[in-house]
Amino acid sequence: MRRAHRCSALFLLLLTASAAHATEDATRWLERMSQAAHSLSYEGTFVYMQEGRLESLQLVHAVDATGEHERLVSLSGPYREVIRDHGRVTCYLPEKEALVAGQPATPPRFPLNLPTQWEQLRSVYDFELLGLSRVAGLAAQRLAIVPRDELRYGQHYWIAVDSGLLLRADTLNEHGELVEQLEFTSLKLMEQIPAQLLQPEAGGRAIELPPGFSATAAERPAPLHWHVTRLPAGFELELQRQHAIADDGVVVDHLVYSDGLASVSVFIEPRRDPAEESAGTSRRGSVNAYTRLLPQQRITVLGEVPLATVRQIGESIEPLGQ
């Protein structure tokens, strides 16, 4: 019996060591993917699928001594371009004969906003290596980020073996169903990106916005007046600010919570319509939203997380001091 017990203990130890080693290998792949996305110059075409709708886009990413430069162009549907240069994001909308330029506090990354601190995810996600595959004719390591509860989505990544670039990303809901997909159909590494590939083709009237402003609101840091009493494990307050709506001066509190991969935004605004009687939910692709009405405020919670998550946060948010 004593020998059998020792054998069982050794077997469990080996399993634990193997799982830890697999996690470390997966983390290295994720770190390599994040680094490649910012350090390599490349041009490619990818398709984006959400709710059964497909969109084809071209992405050009260049890195030089001055930093990163990106250009994203729609190849299907209405023509649109987005250019990111030194953190400045410019959207070209030729059908409206307007160009909107600004410098958001957190400029978006194309094609996805990828976290860089993968270690912090280990408390709420498991990492799994799923073997080799092929995407866009390139060998790829498939990797899964598996949530340990049903309050966040899972991710499957296909990472190029040679370059470390992300080739495909699937977002799976709490039932394991595909809700969003991005996949490159062609991808080419380039030592130097020709300047013309980063220049916009669309023209239009330029609307220059001062730093710190968006098209509808001014933003400023804000003291914390609200808190969530039942925040899902792993989520932490990442940002707090106020939006002053330009039209009528109404101030909206904005809180952002993140677990390092998923983010949830909370908006608290004065209730404008007394006849609005009940809370509600909505969904678009991988984004769920939940609205809760208080006597004086309207609370909206939205994020790329399951409905149960935005509902839990929305129902447990309270003014500080209560």
Which superfamily does 217-319 belong to?
Answer: MucB/RseB, C-terminal domain (3.30.200.100)
3-state secondary structure 220-279: EECCCCEEECCCCCCCEEEEEEEEEECCCCCEEEEEEEECCCCEEEEEEEECCCCCCCCC
Give the DSSP letter string of 9-66: HHHHHHHHHHHHHHHHHHHHHHHHHHHHHHH--EEEEEEEEETTEEEEEEEEEEEETT
- Of 312 and 119, the one with more pLDDT: 312
Give percent of the chain above pLDDT 90.
50
User: Tens digit of pLDDT for each residue in 57-94?
Assistant: 999 999 998 889 999 999 998 888 888 887 777 888 76
Angle at 193 between CA 192 and CA 198, to 5 degrees: 155
Residue 44 pLDDT level (bands cut at 50, 70, 90): very high
For the ranges 1-10, 30-39, 142-151, 202-211, which has the lowest average pLDDT? Answer: 202-211
As a whole number of angstroms, the distance between CA 191 and CA 204 comes to: 32
pLDDT at 15: 44
- Of 189 and 107, the one with more pLDDT: 189
pLDDT at 22: 55
For the ranges 22-31, 113-122, 167-176, 203-212, which has the lowest average pLDDT? Answer: 203-212
pLDDT at 51: 80
- Of 146 and 251, the one with more pLDDT: 146
As a whole number of angstroms, the distance between CA 21 and CA 17 comes to: 6
> Is the pLDDT reported for residue 313 higher than 50?
yes
> Is the pLDDT reported for residue 246 higher than 50?
yes
**CATH 2.50.20.10 boundaries in the chain:** 17-208
Q: What is the mean pLDDT of residues 138-143?
A: 97
Residue 320's alpha-carbon distances to 223, 261, 313, in angstroms, are: 11, 27, 15
Half-sphere exposure of 123 (CA within 13 A, CB side): 9
Would the CA dihedral through 17, 115, 124, 306 be positive or negative? negative
Q: What is the mean pLDDT of residues 133-160?
A: 96
pLDDT at 218: 45
Average predicted confidence (pLDDT) for the chain: 82
For 17-208, CATH number? Answer: 2.50.20.10
pLDDT at 310: 96
Residue 220 pLDDT level (bands cut at 50, 70, 90): low
**CATH 3.30.200.100 boundaries in the chain:** 217-319
> Is the pLDDT reported for residue 239 higher than 60?
yes
> Is the pLDDT reported for residue 6 higher than 80?
no
> Is the pLDDT reported for residue 199 higher than 70?
yes
